[in-house]
A and B are shown apart, each in its own frame.
Chain A
Amino acid sequence: MPSLLHSRIRAKSGSNIIHAFSIHNQIRSLITGPPSSTPPTHHHTTPTAAPLPSPVPLPFFSPEVSAQQSAANGHGNGEAKPLYVPGSQADRLARVGRMSSPLRRGSHESWWSPEMGWFNAVAKTIPTYRVLDEEGHLVKGTAIPEITKEEALAMYRTMTLIPIVDNVLYQSQRQGRISFYMQCAGEEAAIVGSSAAMMEGDEMFGQYRESAALLHRGFTLDALMSQCFGNVEDKGTKGRMMPVHYSAPELGFHTITSPLATQMPQAAGAAYALKLDEDRQGDCVICYFGDGAASEGDFHAALGMNSVLGGPCIWFCRNNGFAISTPIIDQYAGDGIASRGPAYGLDTIRVDGNDALAVLSAVREARKRAVEGKKGVLVEAMTYRVGHHSTSDDSSMYRRVEEVKEWTVVDNPIHRFRAFLASKAWWDEASEEELLASHKSKVMKAFSRAEKLPKPKLGEMFNDVWGVGKGDEVPAVIMEQRAELGRLLKKYGEVWEPWKKERKRFVEEGMDVMDCDGRGS
């Protein structure tokens, strides 16, 4: 008669429940610390190594019985009691102990509250830190970050260089001379300010709009132009990648790939490696991403892993208002990206992304916290994407041109920083003209040079698919296909016009593939 047996056991455990519940009630106020505003009560020290719970009996569920049971327990009389609490009294006490132990840190700042405390924000509003106002004057009560004239001018040089680079390459894409381009326009302060706060040896994970950060780290104009043309001097990506997909391991700049937010968990991994590497103590990772990318699962995966596993990493969000055409209002309903930092236990700041000084000092502080604490820090830089998303985009389809113009006039990051330089008497009209002229000539020189260079050897198409260790052979699948192209090129390379024309663009005109019989160049 199993049902009878069950109800007997249930009745027995039912009495236990009532007992357990009263114990529970008694010690409720003792668990973890109450908020500072509540009056202190006496505090028990709780065991941190509580015994593991013994196997507990399974609960019995039978609709009829549970209906009777709930009536017996006084349900409906406003005295809700749990139907079943597993384990012996000792187990339950141990569990209560664990709740206040470090094992239960998931809500370690919480306290028991008799009221339903719904909330929708950790702080009511998140302030935006700035040093300079829109016109470049110092904000009252702010501390100017320590910055030497040399540092400031270096930043300014990059901030003024990138618009010229962008302009030339953007126009050249329009003329069909390169295949694609993306500008930094409007985000110069956020990108350069953050880059300037980083040190040599730091690792940088970009999204794709960080050319200025790379230039500030010392990437040459020649290297940049070569990548955009995919020519023989494109050491980073060997002509394989679209323009702006830079790769500069010598500068700690990881290869840009087009998928969004994929760089983020990778940055968490790199930060963990830095944390454990004795030779790299003091180095830090910075990972750039946008307001759109923060919607990807990888964003949450990255912050989650970094917050649990640790590792010095600055999560730098360029919140520029748009993910291609999707405005932030369609992207998130919460308080920006910064509000998510505390959810992952990260020190977080929101900063005026068009204020180069504020970005510099916020990221410097972020770097300090990240390195000292070997942990992640989130910086949300509020800025505005003045340019189109890319050369494939026409932003007038989804935002007014006047709105964009307003941003360039009212809140121009370059003008703001220049006003600061002028106020320090570090900059004047003559230097400005001289600088812009020198930028222009350098950019044009690098541009023409890169454009004239041929494309890499055709065989580069088949290299690096798999890494080949010393003494190992390139996988046959690659060598066969390479040989097949070689055979076809030999056969048709002179008579098939599209190939005849195309071959000429490459160093050795495809001979490297034809001559090697698939043995590699």
Chain B
Amino acid sequence: MLCPIRIPRPPTALLRTGIRYYAAQAGGVAGNGESLKIKSPSARQSRSAPTILPSEPTTEEPSLGESLLFLHTSEAALATPGLRFTDGHGLKGPTGKGRQTRRMNLYQAIRDALGTALATNPKAFVFGEDVQTGVFRCTTGLVDEFGKKRVFNTPLTEQGIAGFAIGLASVGATAIAEIQFGDYIFPAFDQLVNEAAKQRYASGGAYPLEGGSLTIRAPIGSVGHGGLYHSQSPEGFFLGAAGLKVIIPRSPIQAKGLILAAVRDPNPVLVFEPKILYRAAVEEVPTDDYTLPIGQPDNVREGSDLTVVAYGTPLHICQRAIDLLRSPPASLVPFLPASLRPPNPAPSIQLIDLRTISPMPLGALTEAVKKTGRMVIVHEAGKAGGVGNDLAGEVGRRAFEYLEAPIGLVSGWDTPVPLTFEKFYQPDVIRVFDKLVETLAY
């Protein structure tokens, strides 16, 4: 696997992002934004001592957009595990000359996926409130390309949109509906949980008719100033709705592949998109039609001491926290136990993108935790009734004898998401850092 490291900023800015340590691990910074290739996974896992940055050049934390998880080269993008081109021609493409990628942010990648779905399937429809305009630009311009019959504004009724989509799919069409905010999905809860999820079971497998497919997209998560009704992460509510698939992508490449897989999945799929990433996340995205597998977690970073499981935005937070452990700023060193300080090697931490919330890919996660013996789960939603406790319970039961520390969970508090207090509500880098240290030192 390729590990891309693109230099997004002038070198002075790099110091504070902690990239230096990475670069050192990877074998030296290649000049001028050239990507670095790591020859084998073991090279990346080399357990050299953590580098302590002498002092912080600036005190500003890197922004989400600077996350090291975003892939900035074609090679890295095309090496995404599980990537399958729909034309069946593999990485060489139908012409044999390889595949193209283009820089896209998350909303552009989603728009690209929706455009691909519409272009490849005459029975596909994209609809929802304001989709002709596209309040997050995920659907902007699609109406000009595909016409108002297939891309249309609906009246303002979430339960109507969901029910309408189920009806479309039930007679063999491909419905790609949008709920404008995850916070407003609750009027559609009845249709989704009682109808979409149970339709196949109730009809003895007869409905939806052949070819019918239902995808519901909704933006979720916090952007820092959304308050009670523009910040929620409602995925936990759907855990009990067997029959629904729930996926949450972390990046443009992932979003395009997972959405195209969702559109072609015979099951109803909810796609929750972290809205803070719509503009912040930028990657080289393959331009051709491809899918990524639903139901499999993605091993984002290998590691052997601790498994961190997250999905969506918190993955980038986790990555940053892991970096802080590997190259802690002087101010955080006092918080590290001796075992995590030089000359001891930096901890090797595995980072897994859960991707599919339901049905939860427990087998793969259990195997991972059996290897590392420690697990920390991070998500934005509150603890109660959430993915973290569900996952911790299942993995705890299955890997009990392998666990060397209690399974950690860093999440939003069990309060509504409070506007002014959001920075202290969300699981941020330092909270994850603290939990990583606690779990490693247990």
Contact = CB atoms under 8 A, between A and B. Distances in A.
A associates with B: yes
B419 A326 contact: no
B100 interface: no
Interface stretch (B111-119, B151-159, B288-296, B343-351): B151-159
B229 A498 contact: no
Interface string A424-466: 0000000000000000000000000000000110101110010
Interface stretch (B43-51, B359-367, B421-429): B421-429
A394 B228 CA distance: 23
Nearest to A332: B155
Contacts of A505: 420
Contacts of B132: 325-326, 330, 398
B230 interface: yes
A502 B434 CA distance: 18
Interface stretch (A24-32, A252-260, A302-310): A252-260
Contact of A330 (B155, B335, B418): B155
A239 B227 CA distance: 9
A462 B415 CA distance: 7
A461 B418 contact: yes
B129 A323 contact: yes
Contacts, number: 150
A45 interface: no
Interface string B127-145: 0011011010000000000
B419 A297 contact: no
A258 B156 contact: no
Interface residues of B, number: 49
A487 to B, nearest CB: 9
Nearest to A176: B225
Interface string A374-400: 000000000000000000110001100
Interface in B375-421: 383-384, 413-416, 418-421
Given A325-B135, A488-B430, A295 B415 contact: no
Contact of B59 (A245, A478, A497): A497
B415 A465 contact: yes
B12 to A, nearest CB: 18
B194 to A, nearest CB: 14
B231 to A, nearest CB: 10
B238 interface: no
B61 interface: yes
A301 to B, nearest CB: 11
A258 B183 contact: yes
B227 A242 contact: yes
B85 to A, nearest CB: 34
Contacts of B421: 239-240, 455, 458, 460-461
Contacts of A461: 413, 415, 418, 421, 424-425
Given A297-B157, A397-B133, A465-B415, 7 more contacts: A179-B225, A295-B155, A296-B156, A324-B130, A325-B153, A330-B152, A499-B430
Interface of A: 179-180, 230, 239-242, 245, 257-260, 292-293, 295-298, 323-326, 330-332, 392-393, 397-398, 455-456, 458, 460-462, 465, 477-478, 481-482, 485, 488-489, 491-492, 495-499, 502, 505, 510
17 contacts: A240-B416, A242-B226, A242-B228, A295-B160, A298-B187, A325-B135, A332-B155, A455-B420, A456-B420, A460-B418, A465-B416, A477-B384, A478-B415, A481-B413, A496-B430, A498-B429, A505-B420
